[in-house]
Amino acid sequence: MNLILAAVCVLCAAVLLALFKLLRNMAAAGRSLPVTAGWIDELSVERYRPMMHLLDGADLDFLRSQPGFTPQAAAKLRIQRCQIFRGYLRSLSTDFGRINGAIKLLMLQSRRDRPDLATILMRQQLLFASGVLAVHVRLVFYRFGLCGVDVTDLVRIFDSMRLELRKLVPSALPTSRSSLTTVLAFPSPL
């Protein structure tokens, strides 16, 4: 019984440590501001659409039906796709962190308090970080052909925060070479 309890405690500590590390990395990504208004306009879910289909099993199923395709080739393909997928995941996490950093900066510069937005921001950060952690765990299983990986929820969280940032930034601002710090010099709609 003590061995099971110890294993559960170690597992919980590892999960909490990983979650803390992910939250810290997202916060660090937000520090690389200023973000341009043009960058905000370029943010799109379409950028991550290939990621959502990269680990789809249909391609592997097709390749398995082809003569000469070996289990070793399938394993190599899964490894390569995991590497590409992790690149997309890093980019998604960085963009999410920048969006959060921009929203925090806008909240700090706002003339009125937005506790509702702060609550949403905290909740979305926690959901995103736990989702990224779950995706990393599932990637390990995918690499060995044991399960698939679905990032629909992560992309949905990213998109909701992107839309929230877009609502906060005045649309009348010039989109080229204007930084978010310039955005904050204008009267805020907050």
pLDDT in tens, 137-165: 999 999 888 888 999 999 999 999 998 88
Comparing CA positions, the residue from 45, 136, 126, 43 lying closest to residue 85 is: 136
- In this prediction, residue 185 carries a pLDDT of 37
Distances (CA, A) of 24 to 27, 71, 98, 105, 126: 5, 39, 12, 17, 11
- In this prediction, residue 180 carries a pLDDT of 45
Residues of the chain with pLDDT under 70: 5-37, 170-190
- In this prediction, residue 5 carries a pLDDT of 67
- In this prediction, residue 3 carries a pLDDT of 72
Residue with tokens 């044991």: 146
Amino acid at 74: A
What b/e sequence results for 140-167 when a residue is b if at least 16 CB atoms lie within 10 Å of its CB, and e otherwise?
A: eebbeeeeebebeebbebbeebbebbee
- In this prediction, residue 188 carries a pLDDT of 38
pTM above 0.75, yes or no: no
Distances (CA, A) of 36 to 39, 111, 181: 5, 22, 9
- Burial class, 132, CB count within 10 angstroms (exposed 0-12 / middle 13-18 / buried 19+): buried
